[in-house]
């Protein structure tokens, strides 16, 4: 894979920004606290799945005080449709109590402080810093990990390596939006199983060699079968939230 140049990286971001002029999180939330809870709930779950459960939960509890008062059992009842709900209910109540005890009931704006909360790891903290506090953090989830590796923007074997690579190569003007530009591109175009390279705005700049043909061409019998695997991309295995209240 040829190395990504800064000029090509800048052009990639320009094209992604042109395609998505207002990149935003797809999670529903009311304030910094409900955003934090929604991001914690979204670990190993889809945003759409989280959004089905959270309106009722946030109607009942949109502050740490109300969430702590609701308690683990009732929080669990609201989020039963989300994977790992028992561990997540435990963490949501525990982080609410910690916010009250140590942060005056406010969501802190620093990554280090956020990472002290039960169920909150670096990725969640980066999302909250970016979305709630407009900080230029890049949270590397499974989509960004894949896009960073496939495109050549920031190849890396771990989420942290990809995050650091993206921080280096992302032009300052795009740092704030980079997270959502890349995540939305990964979710809707550069998909895990079959990237839709034929309709990709950044195909000419992307370093991924085995570009997918349009579906009608893909159906025709291949003249020569490639023996290479499609995804020479490292797989990101996200840690499951622990049952005990603790860092993710």
Residues that bind ligand SF4 (CB under 6 A): 150-151, 189-190, 195-197, 200, 202-203, 206, 208, 211
CA–CA distance, 152 with 147 (Å, rounded to integer): 8
Q: How far is the CB of 92 from ligand SF4 (least distance, A)?
A: 34
- Which of 12/79 has CB closer to ligand SF4? 12
Question: Active-site residue 141, yes or no?
Answer: yes
CA–CA distance, 131 with 136 (Å, rounded to integer): 9
Which of 141, 191, 216, 248 is an active site residue?
141
Which of 123, 211, 219, 220 is an active site residue?
123
Closest CA to 170 of 158, 178, 161: 178
- Which of 122/150 has CB closer to ligand SF4? 150
DSSP 20: -
- Which of 38/190 has CB closer to ligand SF4? 190
CA–CA distance, 133 with 194 (Å, rounded to integer): 34
Q: How many residues does the chain have?
A: 248
Question: Active-site residue 97, yes or no?
Answer: no
Handedness of CA 186, 171, 33, 97 (dihedral sign): positive
- Which of 68/203 has CB closer to ligand SF4? 203
Q: How far is the CB of 225 from ligand SF4 (least distance, A)?
A: 20
Concatenating the DSSP letter of every residue in 71-138 gives HHHHHHHHTTTSTTHHHHHHHHHHHHHHHHHHHTTS--SSHHHHTTSTT--HHHHHHHHHHHH-----
Q: How far is the CB of 45 from ligand SF4 (least distance, A)?
A: 23
DSSP 50: H
Q: How far is the CB of 61 from ligand SF4 (least distance, A)?
A: 39
The catalytic residues are: 123, 141
């Amino acid at each position: 894979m040829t190395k990504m140049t800064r000029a090509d990286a800048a052009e990639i971001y320009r094209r992604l920004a042109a395609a998505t002029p207002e990149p935003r999180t797809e999670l529903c939330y009311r304030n910094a606290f409900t955003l934090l809870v929604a991001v914690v709930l979204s670990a190993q779950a889809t945003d759409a799945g989280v959004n089905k459960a959270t309106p009722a939960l946030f109607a009942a509890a949109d502050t740490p005080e109300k969430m702590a008062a609701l308690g683990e059992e009732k929080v669990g009842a609201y989020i039963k449709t989300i994977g790992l709900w028992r561990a997540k209910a435990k963490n949501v109540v525990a982080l609410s109590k910690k916010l009250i005890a140590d942060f005056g009931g406010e969501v802190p704006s620093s990554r280090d402080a956020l990472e002290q909360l039960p169920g909150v790891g670096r990725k969640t903290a980066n999302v909250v810093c970016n979305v709630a506090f407009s900080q230029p953090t890049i949270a590397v989830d499974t989509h960004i990990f894949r896009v960073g590796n496939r495109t050549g923007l920031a190849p890396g074997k771990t989420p942290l390596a990809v995050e650091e690579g993206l921080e280096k190569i992302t032009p300052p003007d795009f740092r704030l939006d980079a997270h959502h530009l890349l995540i939305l591109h990964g979710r809707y175009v550069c998909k895990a199983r079959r990237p839709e390279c034929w309709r990709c705005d950044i195909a000419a700049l992307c370093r991924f060699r085995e570009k997918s043909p349009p579906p009608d061409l893909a159906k025709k019998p291949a003249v020569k079968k490639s023996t290479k695997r499609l995804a020479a991309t490292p797989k990101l295995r996200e840690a499951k939230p622990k049952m005990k209240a603790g860092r993710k």
